[in-house]
Structure 1
């Protein structure tokens, strides 16, 4: 019987080797798998390469991982934010590397990894410093830059609903990079707020099929400052 539900976050994540490339879902603070990132900190793997749209906010989640000194390099589109002081401090101190990737290119490079595409030409970044050292080609009179896929050893993503086969549904903007990252990694771990019985999710509504998911773990919703509960990071 296939059952991908783990009882704890460390059990869901499993072993992580030093130097691993980890794809982390989320866009700003929407859809960040904070509980999984906390578990990754506990595991303690070092020299990690993190792929995310941003470079952390405040002191939690991705920022906490950076603060713990476990990340060697981050690949992202928006490293600067009003509350992105952890990354900024580390970068100014030359304690972390940065690969800046235009947002569309970032999504497509991850998607290409999941789709088995060896490389692709894209016009974005042509004529800028981001294209330095890359192959270029003129196609139909327009210049393009050759981009390569971003493969992950592990993807950590946040979903709203899952079942024991690993099928996933997302909540609104919290969906963002989750589906393409799940396809681009050797292993994918998803946190969910609700676990449904097998067959309770309409197959036509499934966003990420369980074939791309290694394990899921149920996490509580985060209490809001105004009382009650909210979907964390969404």
Structure 2
């Protein structure tokens, strides 16, 4: 199967439709599929439900889809760096489903493994547990969380071979592996595509069986929040 496509727009061709659900990898601005996000903006697809740890920042990452009001609902763990997100949510323009970070990752991973639901103690006794099934195990209360089965996964990796075996770079690994597994179709953007057989099997983080389409491109790699200190000068 030919998995390599010439551009993000080509890779998305035939897959996007209004009202679809998308799992997006990344954490903050680290390891986000920025080229595929840009292509989604250009596609004009709307009423999206997106599951991602956060929604980018104003004007970058998933924040671009907020600016164009293409997102109907976010399933997220953290939204604190995006003023437009706050504005849309408080004005009733955007739906929000908060998930504890580990629960969100496990909901993606569970769906990728074909598991429709699991019990967890996280969130018991909080608003997270409202409306969910409660069950006792060994004297402890757990709540039922469902797997996130999505229409499409968009993720960012460092390297891929021609069959889609993936290597992620350091912390850019974050939500990308579980996000990649839970979509009916997975598109990955990478910095480098290498020949088959050139990746050490022990260094592959996600096998190509999960990957349907691959693109290679240049990435901005913007820093989400720059923190500096004054330059130290040598004592005279």
The answer as to whether partners of 2:34 and 2:219 remain within 8 angstroms in 1 is no
Task: Quote how far apart the aligned CAs of 1:232 are.
Answer: 5.3
Distance 1:133 1:221, change over 3 A: closer
- Which residue of 1 is the match for residue 30 of structure 2? 30
Runs of at least 4 residues of structure 1 off by over 3 A? 231-234
The answer as to whether partners of 1:56 and 1:86 remain within 8 angstroms in 2 is no
Is 1:210 matched up with 2:208? yes
Task: Quote how far apart the aligned CAs of 1:66 are.
Answer: 1.0
Task: Quote how far apart the aligned CAs of 1:125 are.
Answer: 0.6
Scaled by the length of structure 1, what TM-score is found? 0.92
Q: Per the alignment, in what secondary structure is the counterpart of residue 152 of structure 2?
A: strand
The answer as to whether partners of 2:25 and 2:180 remain within 8 angstroms in 1 is no
- Which residue of 2 is the match for residue 47 of structure 1? 47
Scaled by the length of structure 2, what TM-score is found? 0.91
- Which residue of 2 is the match for residue 198 of structure 1? 196
Q: Distance in 2 between matches of 1:124 and 1:151?
A: 21
The answer as to whether partners of 1:56 and 1:87 remain within 8 angstroms in 2 is no
1:82-97 matched pairs, under 5 angstroms:
84-97=82-95
Q: Per the alignment, in what secondary structure is the counterpart of residue 147 of structure 1?
A: strand
Unaligned runs of 5+ in 1: 223-230
- Which residue of 1 is the match for residue 61 of structure 2? 61
CA offset digits 1:6-55 (Å, max 9, x no partner):
00111112230111110010011111111110001111111100000012
Unaligned runs of 5+ in 2: 225-236
Q: Distance in 2 between matches of 1:75 and 1:115?
A: 20
The answer as to whether partners of 2:55 and 2:61 remain within 8 angstroms in 1 is no
Q: Distance in 1 between matches of 2:183 and 2:202?
A: 24
Distance 1:32 1:147, change over 3 A: same
Q: CA RMSD in A?
A: 1.3
- Which residue of 2 is the match for residue 14 of structure 1? 13
Q: Distance in 1 between matches of 2:65 and 2:7?
A: 19
- Which residue of 1 is the match for residue 146 of structure 2? 148
- Which residue of 2 is the match for residue 132 of structure 1? 130
Structure index of larger Rg: 2
Q: Per the alignment, in what secondary structure is the counterpart of residue 190 of structure 1?
A: strand
- Which residue of 2 is the match for residue 5 of structure 1? 4
- Equivalent pairs counted in the alignment come to 223
Is 1:101 matched up with 2:112? no
Task: Quote how far apart the aligned CAs of 1:3 are.
Answer: 2.4
Q: Distance in 2 between matches of 1:193 and 1:100?
A: 31
Task: Quote how far apart the aligned CAs of 1:233 are.
Answer: 6.4
Q: Distance in 2 between matches of 1:77 and 1:196?
A: 34
